[in-house]
Structures are given as C-alpha cells and as structure tokens.
Structure 1
Amino acid sequence: MEDLHDATLQYLRCTDPTEAKARQRRVLEGDAQGQMEEVAAGIIAANTSAPLAADTSLGAETIDQRITSPLLSNSFKPSGGPPANQNEDETEQ
C-alpha cells in the first residue's frame, strides 16, 4: 500500500495548477470509489496466485476477461472492400 501511496503522491506533483487540481479531483474520486483497495487486492492476488473473493468490487469476471472481452466484441468488422477513401479508378488498376 505504501508504494501505491507514493505513486499517488508523485502523480499529484504537477507544476501546472489546472492539471494539479484535475489530478487531485481524480484521486479524490478514486478514493471515494475504493480504487486504491481494489488495485491493492489485485496486486496481492496476482503475486500470491490466489483467486479474488467473489464479493470484491471486480465482480465475477476476472481481470483477463475484462481485458479480452472488448477485443472479442463485434465492434470491429472488416468490410472486405477497399478503403472508403479510394476512388473507382484506383480499384480498377
């Protein structure tokens, strides 16, 4: 946890006052949502190879599922045709 706090303090050190306030707001919101504890639990679980308890804020899906499921979604479907910016003359060559 101490390393996470050190990383947070380093993140908060910013010379630009506007960015410093935005970072402070993000950290406070993350603290309110329990992100620090969630990250710490994930680090501990990864280092001990122990599965996370079902009642953690990560839910039933694993971190691997959370990362790969968007990659496997139907959001990217190749059209099979030429790019839209090519005109008909280029495709006939």
Structure 2
Amino acid sequence: MAATATEAVNFITTSTGRVRLVCQVCGKLSRSLASACLADLPDGWSMAPYADGYAHPDGSTGDLFRCPTCDKRRDFPISPREYMKPVDVVTVI
C-alpha cells in the first residue's frame, strides 16, 4: 500500500534532508528526491509552480504536485485534498 500524507502539505522533508512530494488530490507520496523542483519530478508526476510563500486555501504553501494516477483523472471537478475529507461510516445491522 502506498504511503499517504495526513495533513495539507505539498512535500515532506525526510530525516536525511531529501523530500517526498505529496499529491494534492489523493495524498500519495513520491519516492525520495534530492529536491522538490521541476528537474527532479518523478516520471508521471506533474507540478503547478507557485512562489515559495504563496498560501493556498487549504493552508499549504508553494508548488502543487499530482501523482500519475490523479493527473490522468477526468472525473471533474477534482477536489484537492480528497484524502483529508471525512468519510461517512455506514453501520450495517
């Protein structure tokens, strides 16, 4: 199972100083990278560049990233941070 983020961030810095990109839709994490820049994007990942200090409505800052799966989705509208939305739990009696 792929690792996912649990908060609104666009990348996570590892203990070794490398970064893992966070998909803005599903929260999937990329492999460990030297930096979160266009030149280091893993295959299939896309990037929407923003200034480092730009604050998005969800509280995250900077560039936005999408994993290959979410980048190919065509079921619009795609909601950012879908992985953070509460899930209704149905109890079967």
What TM-score do you get using the length of structure 2 for normalisation?
0.25
Give the structure with the larger strand fraction.
2
| The structure with more helix, counted as a fraction of residues | 1
Larger radius of gyration: 1
